[in-house]
Structure 1
Amino acid sequence: MSKLVLSSVAAAVCLVGCTSPAPRALPPAPIAIAAPSMVVPERYVSPESPRDELDSLATWPAEDGRTWLIATAKSTHLLVVFDADTGERLRSIGRKGQAPGEFLRPNGVAIHGNHLFVAERDNHRVQVLSLPDFTPLGTFGSDRLRSPYGLWIHESAPGEYEVYVTDSFMQGEHHDVVPPLDQLDRRVRRYRIAFDDDGTRFNARDEGAFGDTGESSALRIVESIAGDPAQQRLLVADEFTSTEGLRRGSNLREYTFDGKPTGRELPAGTFEAQAEGVALWSCTPDTGYWVAADQRYPQTHFLLFDRDTLAPRGSFRGEVTAHTDGIALHAATTATFPAGALFAVHDDKAVAAFDLGEVARVLALDPDCTR
């Protein structure tokens, strides 16, 4: 299952001091036309570490000139830091536990500025750390969150963030039963986080929860979430594929920033497997693409959609990358990736990197995305 993963570049679409526009009414999404998925070879796949069970990814431009690729490791209860340009494993952070700087089944990870947010499923909280030293600053959500997975962050004002957290709590002896519809109105919880001037202390305010409860539109199994401040749009990946008397595929469902469902989703059958990691590839302030992982095996397929209309704009797969959970899109230039990179978890045990310039060339995308 995916856990939302967005890089600091993708999260920081709304710059300091910007104002949020009103949501735009959009036409219904067009019917998807099946097209062959193109092959884009990975620039690298890191050495495998099966015991980690890697899940989610985020990037951060380190002070030494490197770009860090930070992954959550669920089974070893760690954060793993890679060199984003080479895939070299640089260090591991944390250990199993409940104290500050410790983790219990970390899933979602997101970065904004020098603040790192980690959703811990089995500690039922979001922990905030300061980069580059991974200094623990505090936690929030433990009084309400039950099984937090995905994260997306929007800077609504200088030093103030809106943090959206998917909460995929389940029922049954083995925690594998989707709750009744009337409990699915709390699938996403929203927090407002305000930091002090030096960024070392914060206050967290619970802004409530949301989720559609309709039979055909409810969010049943959720992890990945991503947003677009330019359009006040949230996309939530629902991994659920069927229910009694109702057959449907995994899909991305659209919400406004204040938690209202718009009723828009991608056409049925868009995802052959499960909709997993989701990220926004912002090429200009108003143009770009949504990227979502279709968790197929033996190769993950990465699907691209128009930022505005959600019309399909092609898909690609690597030569190796499979069973992807989290992705992170880093649109800034690095030493290895002058047009940026898409990073993806490979089969829970490695990270893979794709050159965005090559993706744009193979899929004949907007040239603005490679400048």
Structure 2
Amino acid sequence: MPASATSPAAPALIEEAFLTIREEAGNVDSVATWHGPDGQHWLIATAKEGNVLQVFDAATGESLQRVGETGDGPGQFSRPNGIGVIDDLVVVVERDNTRVQLFALPGFEPLGSFGRDQLRRPYGVWLQRMTDGAYRAFVTDAYETVDEQMPPDAELGERIKQFRFTVGEDGVSAKHERSFGATDGEGVLRKVESLYGDPVTGRLLVADEDAVDIKLYDFGGRFQGAIMGADIFEHEPEGIALYACADGSGYWFTTDQDTRINRFHVFTREVLDYVGSFGGPVTRNTDGVWLTQTAMPGFPAGTFYAVHDDGNVAAFDLSRIFGALSLTPCNDRND
């Protein structure tokens, strides 16, 4: 059943606070931020054709460094696509190396990798911190048939791979916990890349670019019978981010990817109601997005980042987005 049945509103136009230097040859795909103990605010982007990570100052967009090179060894990449940051770890999904590789921050030391025995064509990742010090990674796997076609629904039961991993003195230790995906009905996952989880509600949101909607699963791999944005998205649903308040409220930020009319749709965290849309005068054809609620110079309420047309990253001031869409920030909910 649809989780929202309201037609999309005319998007609010919000000017980008900055755009990073443009590098189309690198083919930028996904982004994440890290806020270090010594005042570092870093924006990290995957350049899937350049086979590097691009690192910027998250508050200004200034280029800081490039990490990696082409190859399949530690610290090397072959089409890095999805990225996530959790604690002081950077987790990168490499489509063509069919693995998930981990790095330690701030030095980007390679720690190890996992997934090569299970992944076939991986793209996106979402990370969960466990209570025992371990982590969980959910990875989308858009595998194809031998002739590079979409598999039949009956063969789509492994669209998401779930791993549990730890990082210790001996590197990375990982276990493949399960693979899942519905093989019939509304929950079938066909063209998958972006996903994001919410431990408070137990929901795992998976964007299906073929069905043009976002499907809701639980952390046990079961489709919840709910679909978000079926009447809202007009193009390909892409990056997903969560604005989370301590009282369980908040907002989902999603991407309606298009080369001309690129919009970001916002839904409530609890009941998934559609509340509005926005876009920038420059930003279009967005793949990955990331939302940080950490205050930085120039961004007192946090920042929303969106990839712009495969070449760079745009930053939006969250306070301007909230004002334009009449959203309620966490500090106004007595968190």
TM-score (norm 1): 0.86
Q: For residues 137 and 272 of structure 2, what CA distance do their matches in structure 1 show?
A: 24
Please tell me whether the aligned partners of residues 299 and 318 of structure 1 are also in contact (alpha carbons under 8 angstroms): no
Among residues 130, 142, 161, which one is paired with 2:135 in the alignment? 161
Q: Please give the secondary structure, in 2, of the residue aligned with 1:185.
A: coil
> Which of structures 1 and 2 has the larger relative contact order (alpha carbons within 8 angstroms, sep 6+)?
1
Q: Please give the secondary structure, in 2, of the residue aligned with 1:186.
A: coil
1:258 matched to 2:220? The reply is yes
1:287 matched to 2:257? The reply is no
The code of the aligned residue for 2:273 comes to: A
Among residues 75, 97, 121, which one is paired with 1:101 in the alignment? 75
Please tell me whether the aligned partners of residues 48 and 80 of structure 2 are also in contact (alpha carbons under 8 angstroms): yes
1:61 matched to 2:23? The reply is no
Shift of residue 217, structure 1, vs aligned partner:
3.0
Please tell me whether the aligned partners of residues 108 and 149 of structure 1 are also in contact (alpha carbons under 8 angstroms): yes
Note the alpha carbon deviations across 1:245-285, whole angstroms, 9 max, x for none: xxxxx110000011000110025331111000001111334
Q: Please give the secondary structure, in 1, of the residue aligned with 2:320.
A: helix
Structure 1's consecutive aligned runs of 4 or more residues displaced over 4 angstroms after TM superposition are none
Tell me the equivalent position of 2:233: 271
Change (3 A) 1:44 1:211: same
Shift of residue 28, structure 1, vs aligned partner:
6.0
Tell me the equivalent position of 1:364: 326
Shift of residue 88, structure 1, vs aligned partner:
1.2
Shift of residue 159, structure 1, vs aligned partner:
1.8
Please tell me whether the aligned partners of residues 282 and 369 of structure 1 are also in contact (alpha carbons under 8 angstroms): no
Q: Please give the secondary structure, in 1, of the residue aligned with 2:313.
A: strand
Tell me the equivalent position of 2:157: 185
Q: Please give the secondary structure, in 1, of the residue aligned with 2:156.
A: helix
Please tell me whether the aligned partners of residues 7 and 231 of structure 2 are also in contact (alpha carbons under 8 angstroms): no
Aligned-CA RMSD value: 1.6
Change (3 A) 1:269 1:28: closer
Q: Please give the secondary structure, in 1, of the residue aligned with 2:22.
A: coil
Among residues 162, 166, 175, which one is paired with 1:194 in the alignment? 166
How many percent identity over aligned positions? 41
Please tell me whether the aligned partners of residues 295 and 323 of structure 1 are also in contact (alpha carbons under 8 angstroms): yes
The code of the aligned residue for 2:47 comes to: A
Please tell me whether the aligned partners of residues 178 and 220 of structure 1 are also in contact (alpha carbons under 8 angstroms): yes
The code of the aligned residue for 2:99 comes to: R
Q: For residues 179 and 369 of structure 1, what CA distance do their matches in structure 2 show?
A: 47
Structure 2 counterparts to residues 47-86 of structure 1, below 5 A: 47-86=21-60
Among residues 336, 343, 346, which one is paired with 2:305 in the alignment? 343
Give the length in aligned residue pairs.
333
Tell me the equivalent position of 2:144: 170
The code of the aligned residue for 2:294 comes to: A
Tell me the equivalent position of 2:196: 226
Please tell me whether the aligned partners of residues 299 and 320 of structure 1 are also in contact (alpha carbons under 8 angstroms): no
Q: Please give the secondary structure, in 1, of the residue aligned with 2:83.
A: strand
Note the alpha carbon deviations across 1:201-227, whole angstroms, 9 max, x for none: 231011010001115431001000100
The code of the aligned residue for 1:101 comes to: G
Tell me the equivalent position of 2:266: 304
